[in-house]
Amino acid sequence: MLNAHLEDIRTFVAVADAGAVSVAARELHLTQSAVTRRVQRLEQAVGAPLVDRRRRPFGLTAAGARALASCRQMLTAAAALHEAASPTPGAAGDVKLGVAHALTEFVLVEPIEALGTSWPNVRWRVSTAWSDALIDRVKTGALDAACVLLPDGQPLPHSLSGRRLATEKVLVVAPRTWLGRLTTVAEAARCPWVLNPEGCAARAWLRRSLGRRDAALDARIDAYSYELQLALVARGRGLGLVPSRLLERSTSRRKLGVVKIKGLQFTFAVWLVTRDEAPRLADAISSLGDELITRLRERT
């Protein structure tokens, strides 16, 4: 691998992260044939196939999976060398950041804009997903850091470090006209629900809470947008589950009420997670944490 060209290594990592040559080609602004040639050159340099071309969907060979971690380390070392040798000191490069769906408004607008002054040469490459998926991508090195939600009190997974930023209250909401008849978990379980699709940590927590009382979750509508969910709840389509800060700002809030039932009270912690070893551009990531703490405390 020492004889491999750095761009071939970078391309292989992009293919592994994207899970497809076509997606990596778009991200790298290359043709698919150019991406394929680079991966093949790297395979020749290491003397083993790295991509399993027989698998559908895409997958790495055992050698490719082992080589991926080394390739990430080489790219990190190359970035550090470039920074040290730069005639204009200061952190520069890309930070691959993941953001849980419920937190995108905080990360993608004001905090990232605020960091543009103090870290002008850092480019934030942001992707959104559910928290569990983002944590897995941080573990593999596909992301440098991720801002995620975890049930309050749940420890971080092994091999990850993190900074707890804030507490997030998640509320059960209903049309105001329903509130008088919702006093127990059983009564809430008999109602339909309007929720985030599968993969949402709050939805999973709700299902477990109902299951502990031998009640099933009747999810009638799956929708990614909290504002859409709240509008549907206000129209009587079901109960909802939403962060308190988003309920306060919703255009539907006057038509909604909070369902206060023992056993259906949810609190999550907001974390900025990285791998145990210091990530590339760790100081910039730490500054993002500072900015997020300020914004989250202002609005929770």
pLDDT of 8 over the 60 cut? yes
- pLDDT given at position 296: 66
Residue 101, in any domain of the structure: no
What's this model's pTM, rounded to 2 decimal places? 0.71
pLDDT interval class at 176 (50, 70, 90)? very high
Q: Say if CB 246 and CB 226 are below 8 A apart.
A: yes
Name the more confident of 278 and 54. Answer: 54
- pLDDT given at position 220: 94
- Domain span at residue 63 reads 1-89
Q: At residue 76, what is the residue type?
A: T
Which among 50, 54, 53, 73 is positioned nearest to 62, based on CA atoms? Answer: 50
Model pLDDT for residues 232-256, shown as the tens digit of each residue: 999 999 999 999 888 988 999 999 9
Element containing residue 17 per DSSP (H, E) = helix 6-18
pLDDT of 86 over the 60 cut? no
- Judged by DSSP in three states, 110 sits in helix
pLDDT interval class at 221 (50, 70, 90)? very high
Q: Identify the sign of the CA torsion 17, 18, 22, 28.
A: negative
- pLDDT given at position 57: 74
**pLDDT, average across residues 136-161:** 87
Which among 164, 125, 149 is positioned nearest to 245, based on CA atoms? Answer: 149
Domain C-terminal end among 41, 62, 89 = 89
Instruction: Say which range, 134-148, 225-239, 269-283, has the weakest mean pLDDT.
Output: 269-283
Share of the chain above pLDDT 90, in %: 35
pLDDT interval class at 206 (50, 70, 90)? very high
- pLDDT given at position 19: 84
How many residues comprise the chain?
Answer: 300
pLDDT of 283 over the 60 cut? yes
Domain C-terminal end among 56, 89, 122 = 89
Respond yes or no on whether the N-terminal peptide bond of residue 49 is cis (omega within 30° of 0): no
Residue 71, in any domain of the structure: yes
Domain C-terminal end among 29, 56, 89 = 89
Structural domains of the chain, count: 2
Query: Nearest 5°: CA angle at 172, between 170 and 176?
Result: 135
**pLDDT, average across residues 119-138:** 89
CATH number at residue 236: 3.40.190.290
Chain mean pLDDT for the chain: 86
pLDDT interval class at 154 (50, 70, 90)? confident
pLDDT of 142 over the 90 cut? no
CATH number at residue 41: 1.10.10.10
Residue 247, in any domain of the structure: yes
- pLDDT given at position 196: 94
Residue 11, in any domain of the structure: yes
pLDDT of 126 over the 80 cut? yes
pLDDT of 192 over the 90 cut? yes
Contacts of 111 (CB under 8 A, 6+ apart): 288, 291, 292, 295
